[in-house]
Amino acid sequence: MLNVGDNISVEIKRLGINGEGIGYYNRLAIFIPGGIPGERCDVEITSVSEKMAYAKIIDIKNVSKDRCEPKCKYYNRCGGCNTMHINYNKMGDFKRDRVIESITRYTDLNPRSFEVKKTVLMQNPYNYRYKASLPVRKFNDNATVGLYSVDGKEVIYIDGCMNQADQINNINKKILALMDKLNVVPYIEKYKRGEVKYIVTRVSHFNKEAQVTFVIGEKTPKIKELAKEVIKIDSVVSVFESFADGEGDSLIFGSDIKLLEGKKTILENIGKYKFELLPTAFFQLNPIQTEVLYEHVLKACKLSFKERVLDAYCGVGTIGIYLAHNASEVIGIEYNKEAVENANNNAQLNKIKNAKFLQGDVVELLPHMIKEGNQFDVIVADPPRVGLGSELCEAILESGAKRFIYVSCNPATLAKDLNILTKKYNVNSIEPFDMFPNTSHVEAICVLNRRND
């Protein structure tokens, strides 16, 4: 039995879903942050349970050739990324391995029976995030922003993040200086008090417009005064406030969102298509790689201008609009009412007349549409991390669609859904995508073709 404080030697066998190295000691899984497969590490046990243990590295006996020096000075303290110590190209291999491992673990499918392509990487794996939601705290008597620590227990002050667009880093520095000047109080976590809890900054890769939202814990006229100064910052075109007085920060935005200065939306482009974005609109954080992803989705759909396409979980209509010019009709379904309004406006903005977006739960709406005689040639789904679920998978099976394109952000739930989908579909290929370099996160496009039997 292991105890906290024990020192042992462990060989790293694979990477975990959070980028940590995993080794085994008497069949007990040991999770070791910073470990790379192939390394043998001397570690100290930091916690133990019946099924696993965690440890920290004391020494590395045989350093992997894929280990590199992290460029970020906050690395290992900040929880913003967790694989910067691994060669970027090699990390692409590890992400592909994770997809294969999920297929092997959660299905009876043989990953060799279809193509698992190489991970599509970015040319520049830095400064790719064009939206940041950062907690605001006081540090050395000044307002600061930060990212939560690896263990999530504290906010680590940062003067800039290498994964965020430089424009966001620069705007935030100016906002924080204005907060100090106007005596706007940052959130004090200990007392659950403070005027600004988060600064949410979204910038457009297309035209550099910036949208700022202050998530506030207390209503105060000082926020309006702050907004009048922030709108003067170069490239900032809108300033919002969102009142969120609850202790839970998982959703960040409160229910009460108000425009204080400037215009309601900013404009972003994916390829030749424009999208108007509200602060709360779900939109890919990495617009550069999103265009690459959507091009691969378009190719996978094999559209010939006559297909009827369903875009499930359509959000603000990005995928549906991207496909519309190659289809006869696109129908999008999205639960969020505001996103659906945004999606239909985006269709008008792009002068697309063969796409419409409906508000509703796709799990309920799709079976109803099928019963009414609606038929789709191609279905595209980009669900949240929980995946499609059994009900929607069964509805897709009953749809009769010849081709199903599954855009997944979680290999485990993709694999579990494939257990159901492969009752009537064959997996043609899975292609991993690196949407979030320097993290363990991996997305994938899974192409499924309906069998004739």
Tens of pLDDT, residue by residue over 369-389, are 998 989 999 999 999 999 999
Instruction: Report whether 197 contacts 218 (CB < 8 A).
Output: no
φ, ψ dihedrals at 338, nearest 5°: -65, -40
CA-nearest of 281, 297, 310 to 370 is 310
Catalytic site residue from 41, 81, 393, 409: 409
Q: Where are the domains of the chain?
A: 7-60, 99-122+286-450, 131-270
Residue for token pair 């279905």: 379
- Give pLDDT, residue 248: 47
User: How confident is the model over 278-306, as a mean pLDDT?
Assistant: 95
Edge to edge, the sheet with strand 308-312 lists 115-116, 425-433, 443-450, 403-408, 378-381, 308-312, 329-334, 355-359
Residue 453 has pLDDT above 80, yes or no: no
Could you tell me where the beta strands, DSSP code E, fall in 224-286? 236-243, 256-262, 266-270, 273-277
- Write out the H or E segment, with its range, that includes residue 288: helix 287-301
Q: What is the pLDDT of residues 149-173, one digit of tens each?
A: 887 788 899 999 999 999 999 999 9
Classify the C-alpha dihedral 233-235-236-237 as positive or negative: positive
Let me know if the fold of 7-60 is the same as that of 99-122+286-450.
Answer: no
φ, ψ dihedrals at 376, nearest 5°: -125, 135
Which 8-state DSSP code applies to residue 361?
Answer: -
- Give pLDDT, residue 249: 46
Query: Percentage of residues in the chain with pLDDT exceeding 90?
Result: 86
C-alpha distance from residue 357 to each of 295, 309, 335, 369 (Å): 21, 12, 10, 14
Hey, is 347 helix, strand or coil? helix
41 is an active site residue: no
Return the minimum-mean-pLDDT range out of 146-150, 292-296, 300-304, 403-407: 146-150
Return the minimum-mean-pLDDT range out of 10-24, 270-284, 308-322, 395-409: 270-284
- Give pLDDT, residue 242: 93
**Dist. CA 330–CA 320, nearest whole Å:** 6
Take residue 191 and report the two structure tokens written for it: 């007392």
Residue 244 has pLDDT above 90, yes or no: no
Return the minimum-mean-pLDDT range out of 198-207, 247-256, 295-304, 388-397: 247-256
Instruction: Report whether 84 contacts 70 (CB < 8 A).
Output: yes
Q: Classify residue 389 as exposed, middle or buried by CB count within 10 Å of its CB (0-12, 13-18, 19+).
A: middle
- Give pLDDT, residue 33: 94
- Give pLDDT, residue 378: 98
Task: Please tell me the pTM assigned to this model.
Answer: 0.93
- Give pLDDT, residue 251: 62
**Dist. CA 338–CA 359, nearest whole Å:** 9
CATH homologous superfamily of 7-60 equals Nucleic acid-binding proteins (2.40.50.140)
φ, ψ dihedrals at 94, nearest 5°: -65, -35
Query: Percentage of residues in the chain with pLDDT exceeding 70?
Result: 98
φ, ψ dihedrals at 357, nearest 5°: -125, 130
Burial 96-135 (b: 16+ CB within 10 A, else e): bbbbbbbbeebbeeebeebebeebbbbeebbbbbbbbbbb
**Dist. CA 239–CA 333, nearest whole Å:** 29
- Write out the H or E segment, with its range, that includes residue 216: strand 210-216
Burial 148-165 (b: 16+ CB within 10 A, else e): bbbeeeebbbbebbbbbb
DSSP track, 393-414? HHHHHHH--SEEEEEES-HHHH
Could you tell me where the beta strands, DSSP code E, fall in 26-154? 28-32, 40-48, 52-60, 115-116, 131-139, 142-148
Architecture of domain 99-122+286-450: 3-Layer(aba) Sandwich (3.40)
- Write out the H or E segment, with its range, that includes residue 114: none
Residue 246 has pLDDT above 80, yes or no: no
Q: Which one of 3.40.630.30, 2.40.110.10, 2.40.50.1070, 3.40.50.720 gives the CATH number of domain 131-270?
A: 2.40.50.1070
Q: Classify residue 386 as exposed, middle or buried by CB count within 10 Å of its CB (0-12, 13-18, 19+).
A: exposed
